[in-house]
Amino acid sequence: MLWRMLGATGRNIECCAYRTETGLELRTQYTPTEIVASKLFRGVDTGKEGRGSGGSMATKHDRQGL
């Protein structure tokens, strides 16, 4: 778990990282079965351009190819 906070409804909501076969998945969730949002970040050896699905989270080093 990366962080946990109390949501507007009084329930805990948390962000967790999961290692998957295709990369790293970040989930915002109430429980592991009640997922609010999910984002998959692929590794550099997948043959895809960019870092992550869509490349929206690229860092300065990623853009420079370091």
**pLDDT per residue as tens digits for the range 31-55:** 999 999 999 998 776 555 444 444 3
What are the pLDDT digits (tens) for 7-24?
Answer: 999 999 999 999 998 899
Model pLDDT, residue 62? 37
Q: Write down the mean pLDDT value for the chain.
A: 76
What pTM, to 2 d.p., does this model score?
A: 0.58
Classify strands 3-6 and 12-20 as parallel, antiparallel or unpaired.
antiparallel
Residue spans per domain, the chain = 3-54
Task: Report which of 9, 16, 10, 20 is spatially closest to residue 46, judged by C-alpha positions.
Answer: 20
